[in-house]
Structure 1
Amino acid sequence: MKPIIFIPGIQATSLVNSNTFDFNYIWNAYDTLGSSISSSVFGTYINENLQINPLYDQGIETIIERNHIARLPYESAILKLKTKLNCTKAYKDTPIYLFGYDWRMSNMESAKRLKAYIEYLKHKLQDKNIEGFRFITHSMGGLVLTCYLNLLKDDFSRIDKIVMTAPPFLGSPYSLIHMVKGDGGLRSILNWAIGRNEDMRKVIRTYPGVYELLPVYPDALKYIDTDEPLDLLKKIYWQKNIYDDIKDLFDSRLALLNEFRSPSGLKNLSDLPKAIKNKIVIVIGEGDETFTKIKVKKKGDTNNITNLIDLNSLNDGKESGDGTVPFKSSSIYANEIKTLAVKKQNIFDEISNNLDFHGLFLNDSRVRNIIERYLTVEETNPVIKKLENWWDTPDGSVRKV
């Protein structure tokens, strides 16, 4: 048996306060098209801060735990995969487990919980002759799994196959945009009108998970006047009004971010043995305009920056990606690990592409086909046999990077 574990992206796990009689929601995942559209128009909102020790909520009577995983981005893909596996003799009745997690916390902490979860599954399935675990991740779920690989101390004997989709290995400018200016657009105006936008920015500045999505690839941020790059791992490059009222907490988050970006945090997949690299497929999006480069106005000393982001420069810094994660962030391992790029299509080809290419990535039929084929590629399959490469599509919209 080769059980599958699915790890979703940021905000895709609903969170509840378990210290209530009815488990009140403090964050509800996007379960329907209506809830997704409503969130994109009115803005997301969460008002629970984390303490300096990010394992705990600030509210003294609040104990927040994970609940269900968002249905809209994932349910169809997972159920169709289950059906596909049941049609193959080798993988009939393969269990698929959903690992939801508190995405506010550090991915390193989520990785520890994933390790404990896998140990639980090993004992649960101890009489089922487990040959290895298979993993499917989306977005930040890939960072959780990458941190988990670091915890294995080079013992990868239980890893059978891995499919990472839309992974933000080197972050995304959107995390910084949310920290500095809120959601932006109509939702920002509506949040401002009811007094929520500033609250939202301050709350997410307490979340390690958001810091760990900050862009760290070359030229992500540059000063307009000097063309000098900014290093968000160093406090001197941040504007004071972001951390003035949370100095100790901000220092703690920045220290945690540096740990996350060190060899002891996020595993460098280049360091994996070749045999393990050959068990990984990375699926990324391209062809959707994505914020990639951000300009910063520098006035005098860096501690007196008036605004960390030059809002007028955002559209000038758009490049290819999946609409959220830049191509240069998700494709960094293309020379060593099989990386397949799925091109965004027009509205008549793939409706989900145009709603949210990144968020609904697993709903794309080409992405689903890649996952299904990779997990069953050793099976006799006449469709795959006719293709030069098992990931090919008739229109050539999927390529090996």
Structure 2
Amino acid sequence: MRILFSNKTRVIGLLACVLVTSILILVCEIPLNNSRQNDLLKDKSETALAEPESDPAIIILPGIMGSELEADEDHSTFYGGNIEKGDTVWMPDTVSDALESVKDLDTSFISDITLSDISDLIACFKFISTNEKGESINKILPKAVTKNDKQIGTLGSYTELYNTLYKKYSDSYDVIFFSYDWRMSSRDNAKLLDAFIKDKGFTDVTFVCHSMGGIVAAQYLTLSADSAALTERVITIGTPYGGSPKALMVLQDGRYFNFGVLQNNIRDLALNMPAIYELLPTEYAVLSEGYIENDGIILDNEETKNFIKDLARFEKDEESSGTNKLLYQNALDSQSALISEKGHIISDDRFDVYMIAGFNCVTVTKIVEENNLFLKTDKTYFGDGTVSCESAAFYNGELFDNPVYFVDGVDHRSLVKDSDTLELITSIIDKDGQINKDDYNNKKIVDYEDITLRKD
């Protein structure tokens, strides 16, 4: 049986998924135990969309929430219906349809929800939630996709990108959308990616990575010398290598849409989700410019760690202090794996890396605290609305030693749909990076020194 929704629960499900989406999209992974990983590896076709095999491949790595998820077991009492193994749980079809019909979802619509609906919303949160070890409470897998799918990725977010690459390159490359469980750690997903590539026998791989997908690719490059040898090029699009301060807003305060009645539930969901922690600003981002100001003092790296672990308070709970220490430490270890004495793996001269970042969209750069409680944010136009340009293109305060392209006025989610950005991506592939400004819209896509930020 497919998931069944009443009219009321259809709206409730829509709102719940929007709120959960808001939590996760703010901050661009639940470890499977060994037996579950082995089961997933037995049929890697469950995680990718691919045409017949050949040596070279273009692999699209979506960002957080970009892959649909499905139930790996039967489940009951979910919005008045039943879930059977194989049913879509991120996002359920009825919710996807509703979202497609809603064009102007805003704070006022969210605030219309009544107190009688809260228990239903909480039930939705619980289905995708994780325990204190970061393990999924319910069995969930990445949803298999096929070449016949009309939409690629959650809500068709990657349809334009996939279709552009498939139409242009499918005669000479396998063009693959690699679907993965975005709740897992990026390192676990990198290991699954490695197994998939080896199983297919690819020898020349081009990664086209959006948001967190670029972190998965970076983790893949650290796994072995084979990973480096099999990689032809990496193209990143709005990847938050330096993290996002908004992750702390969600972890500390469950703050989004000013929807105070559910802040506690949103925070509880975020506290045990490993992906959120991996998207906190990294050590090198803190060293270059701190992102937490508490009682008028900008925190250094050690002060930042201590604040997140032990001090960050939740205004709805006077007894609260700190976050999930295990998951935070795991995230710090995962971030550290990308750094060596030579610097960040993504700037290693063994790899051809091309970076794309959006700007002139209002983006949070700093969290201002008072007495360990969230107070306000500082913002800039030097970002895509979710990921700052410093996070996407800078290391220790300096521009990455890679070709970097800045796209004017295109927000984080739209970067993989924007026609000029897609043209830039194909130019990079066609000319093996040897492109000039006449090969793309150089009025909209500029070098760092040509950036002009809005002043309003």
TM-score by length of 2: 0.67
* Amino acid in the other structure paired with 1:219: G
C-alpha change, 1:320 and 1:35, in structure 2 (3 Å) is farther
- 2:332 corresponds in structure 1 to 258
- 1:127 corresponds in structure 2 to none
Please identify, of 102-111 and 64-73, the stretch whose mean Cα deviation from structure 2 is larger. 64-73
Q: Deviations over 1:118-138 (max 9, x none)?
A: 12222xxxxxxx541111110
- 1:287 corresponds in structure 2 to 360
* Amino acid in the other structure paired with 1:262: S
* Amino acid in the other structure paired with 1:206: N
Q: Deviations over 1:221-274 (max 9, x none)?
A: 112333444744332343378897898x81211220221122368995357542
1:373 aligns with 2:453: no
Q: Which runs of 5+ in 2 are unaligned?
A: 1-54, 75-83, 111-120, 146-152, 450-456
- 2:447 corresponds in structure 1 to 399
Q: Which runs of 5+ in 1 are unaligned?
A: 87-91, 123-129, 299-304, 345-352
1:274 aligns with 2:319: no
Q: Deviations over 1:281-314 (max 9, x none)?
A: 011111111011111113xxxxxx3x2x21xx32
Please identify, of 148-157 and 213-222, the stretch whose mean Cα deviation from structure 2 is larger. 148-157
C-alpha change, 1:2 and 1:337, in structure 2 (3 Å) is same
- 1:297 corresponds in structure 2 to 370
Distance in 1 separating the partners of 2:418 and 2:200: 30
Q: Deviations over 1:46-96 (max 9, x none)?
A: 323323443x323xxx2111115224321012102211225xxxxx24221
Distance in 2 separating the partners of 1:320 and 1:146: 24
Distance in 1 separating the partners of 2:189 and 2:333: 15
- 2:166 corresponds in structure 1 to 82
* Mapping 1:121-160, distance limit 5 Å: 121-122=200-201, 130-153=202-225, 156-160=228-232
* Amino acid in the other structure paired with 1:49: S
**Residue 214 of structure 1, CA deviation:** 1.1
C-alpha change, 1:149 and 1:35, in structure 2 (3 Å) is farther
* Mapping 1:283-362, distance limit 5 Å: 283-298=356-371, 305=372, 307=373, 309-310=374-375, 313-314=376-377, 316-333=378-395, 334-344=399-409, 353=410, 357-362=411-416
Q: Is the 8 A contact 2:347 2:400 kept in 1?
A: no
Q: Is the 8 A contact 1:3 1:94 kept in 2?
A: yes
Please identify, of 328-337 and 163-172, the stretch whose mean Cα deviation from structure 2 is larger. 328-337
Distance in 2 separating the partners of 1:286 and 1:148: 28
* Amino acid in the other structure paired with 2:407: V
1:49 aligns with 2:121: no
Distance in 2 separating the partners of 1:399 and 1:294: 28
C-alpha change, 1:271 and 1:200, in structure 2 (3 Å) is closer
Q: Is the 8 A contact 2:254 2:265 kept in 1?
A: no
Q: Is the 8 A contact 1:175 1:211 kept in 2?
A: yes
* Amino acid in the other structure paired with 1:332: F
Partner SS for 1:157: helix
- 2:156 corresponds in structure 1 to 72
C-alpha change, 1:254 and 1:396, in structure 2 (3 Å) is closer
Distance in 2 separating the partners of 1:5 and 1:159: 11
- 2:453 corresponds in structure 1 to none
Partner SS for 1:185: coil
Please identify, of 137-146 and 258-267, the stretch whose mean Cα deviation from structure 2 is larger. 258-267
Distance in 2 separating the partners of 1:136 and 1:318: 27
C-alpha change, 1:341 and 1:272, in structure 2 (3 Å) is closer
Q: Is the 8 A contact 2:363 2:382 kept in 1?
A: yes
C-alpha change, 1:118 and 1:268, in structure 2 (3 Å) is farther
Partner SS for 1:146: helix
* Amino acid in the other structure paired with 1:374: I
Distance in 2 separating the partners of 1:283 and 1:16: 31
Partner SS for 1:82: helix
Distance in 2 separating the partners of 1:332 and 1:208: 24
Q: Is the 8 A contact 2:70 2:85 kept in 1?
A: no
* Amino acid in the other structure paired with 2:312: W
1:161 aligns with 2:237: no
C-alpha change, 1:209 and 1:364, in structure 2 (3 Å) is same
* Amino acid in the other structure paired with 1:8: P
Distance in 2 separating the partners of 1:25 and 1:171: 29
C-alpha change, 1:268 and 1:103, in structure 2 (3 Å) is farther
- 1:347 corresponds in structure 2 to none
1:236 aligns with 2:310: yes
TM-score by length of 1: 0.76
* Amino acid in the other structure paired with 2:216: V
Distance in 2 separating the partners of 1:153 and 1:376: 26
Q: Deviations over 1:160-200 (max 9, x none)?
A: 111110010111122222223335226x36xx3xxx44222
Match of 1:96 among 172, 175, 189: 175
**Identity of counterpart residues, as a percentage?**
21
Distance in 2 separating the partners of 1:7 and 1:13: 9
Distance in 1 separating the partners of 2:240 and 2:311: 22
